């Protein structure tokens, strides 16, 4: 793991010999070296938690006092820890100082880089899924994955009842109810609930397509579009219809299927031994919508013919549905 070239040598000349950290001042390096000794002489007098640095203890005490002195200049968020504040600022500036040595991909947080290296560049994945054989490096990752097969959605939104397989997805969803969209595009003023969505959106304006498929070379502005595209190559169909259990590669395809196919299946004929489903009703509804469109197009012909009354008959009576 490394930071971008120039950061350590030019701005942070004092490097730790035990890890990747570098510092502007020698006193900061000396303070950091205490973390490698294992000594934690600074103890919180409220809860007893111990720290290597006096400064870290002072920041910890804000958990007890409620003080949040770090205010983001771009949005309304505030922070107790200066490290969390700095990481958050990068979501606005787009700075990604942590670069993968193997593939060159960059990240805002060092923890994200470590996760990427563990998931993408190591073969140590001893936890296999019993349903599809996919392997994982952590039991928790396997458990999250298996929820897709089992249909488990243990996290429920307290506002609308919508359920999610992952707690992070529920937390992101809850921002819909608050209405807060603090991340604003500087080009078109479109607002977003997540900084990652803003960063992906801004790539549309710049024309950059940094996310390239390793299989066919097609590039995308958004990482989510690349992930969706890659399902075509690996033939994964992670999105399952809860009505008929049919699987789909893309969420949009699943939604289209549910609207045009399975939506009609809630209407079942009440006659004994009759299994005609409401798909017929759905098709007739589509026909009606088509004829309505044709009527609107016809009326548009007379839009500029003032004083003329259209005598064309455009109402169609649908045949009676005597299917039994």
Residue 16, pLDDT score:
87
Q: In what order do the strands lie in the sheet with 106-107?
A: 2-3, 98-99, 106-107
Question: Token pair of 249, please?
Answer: 């590669």
Structure confidence at residue 151 as a pLDDT band (50, 70, 90): confident
Closest of 117, 107, 114 to residue 196, by C-alpha: 107
Question: Across residues 134-142, what is the average pLDDT?
Answer: 83
Closest of 313, 287, 318, 286 to residue 299, by C-alpha: 313
Structure confidence at residue 152 as a pLDDT band (50, 70, 90): confident
In the three-class reduction of DSSP (H, G, I as helix; E, B as strand; rest coil), residue 1 is classed as: coil
Most confident range, picked from 10-19, 56-65, 113-122, 209-218:
56-65
DSSP structural state of residue 109: S
State how far the Cα of 212 lies from the Cα of 220, in Å rounded to an integer. 6
Structure confidence at residue 7 as a pLDDT band (50, 70, 90): very low
Instruction: Go through the domains of the chain in sequence order and give each one's CATH number.
Output: 1-67 (3.30.160.60)
Question: Across residues 288-301, what is the average pLDDT?
Answer: 64
CB 92 within 8 A of CB 72: yes
* 173 φ/ψ angles, rounded to the nearest 5 degrees: -65, -40
The half-sphere exposure of 199 on its side-chain side, counting CA atoms within 13 A, is: 17
CA angle 263, 269, 270 (to 5 degrees): 130
State how far the Cα of 195 lies from the Cα of 185, in Å rounded to an integer. 10
Residue 290, pLDDT score:
65
Q: Kindly tell me if the per-residue pLDDT of 118 is higher than 50.
A: yes
Q: Mean pLDDT for the chain? A: 75
State how far the Cα of 70 lies from the Cα of 46, in Å rounded to an integer. 23
Least confident of 20-29, 44-53, 222-231, 276-285: 276-285
Question: Across residues 296-318, what is the average pLDDT?
Answer: 51
Residue 299, pLDDT score:
64
- In sequence order, the 6+-apart residues with CB closer than 8 A to the CB of 31 are 52, 53, 55
State how far the Cα of 310 lies from the Cα of 80, in Å rounded to an integer. 71
State how far the Cα of 302 lies from the Cα of 289, in Å rounded to an integer. 21
What is the tens place of the pLDDT at every residue in 197-245?
887 788 788 777 877 888 788 888 777 778 778 777 777 777 788 777 7
């Amino acid at each position: 793991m490394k930071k971008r070239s120039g950061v350590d040598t030019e701005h942070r000349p004092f490097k730790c010999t035990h890890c990747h950290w570098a510092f502007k001042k020698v006193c900061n390096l000396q303070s950091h070296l205490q973390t490698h000794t294992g000594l934690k002489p600074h103890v919180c007098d409220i809860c007893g938690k111990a720290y290597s640095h006096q400064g870290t203890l002072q920041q910890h005490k804000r958990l007890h006092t409620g003080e949040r002195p770090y205010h983001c200049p771009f949005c309304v968020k505030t922070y107790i820890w200066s490290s969390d504040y700095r990481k958050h600022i990068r979501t606005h500036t787009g700075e990604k100082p942590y670069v993968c040595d193997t593939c060159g991909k960059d990240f805002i947080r060092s923890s994200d880089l470590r996760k990427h290296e563990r998931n993408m560049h190591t073969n140590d994945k001893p936890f296999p899924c019993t349903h599809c054989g996919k392997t994982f490096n952590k039991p928790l990752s396997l458990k999250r994955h298996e929820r897709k097969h089992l249909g488990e959605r243990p996290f429920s939104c307290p506002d609308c009842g919508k359920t999610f397989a992952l707690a992070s997805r529920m937390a992101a969803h809850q921002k819909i109810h608050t209405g807060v969209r603090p991340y604003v595009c500087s080009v078109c003023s479109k607002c977003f609930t997540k900084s990652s969505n803003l960063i992906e959106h801004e790539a549309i304006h710049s024309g950059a397509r940094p996310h390239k498929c390793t299989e066919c070379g097609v590039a995308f502005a958004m990482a989510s579009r690349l992930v969706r595209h890659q399902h075509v190559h690996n033939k994964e169909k992670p999105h399952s219809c809860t009505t008929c259990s049919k699987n789909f590669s893309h969420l949009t395809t699943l939604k289209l299927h549910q609207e045009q196919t399975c939506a009609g299946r809630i209407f079942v004929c009440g006659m004994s031994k009759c299994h005609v489903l409401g798909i017929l009703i759905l098709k007739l509804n589509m026909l009606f919508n088509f004829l309505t469109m044709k009527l609107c197009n016809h009326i548009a012909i007379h839009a500029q013919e003032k004083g003329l009354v259209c005598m064309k008959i455009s109402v169609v009576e649908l045949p009676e549905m005597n299917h039994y």
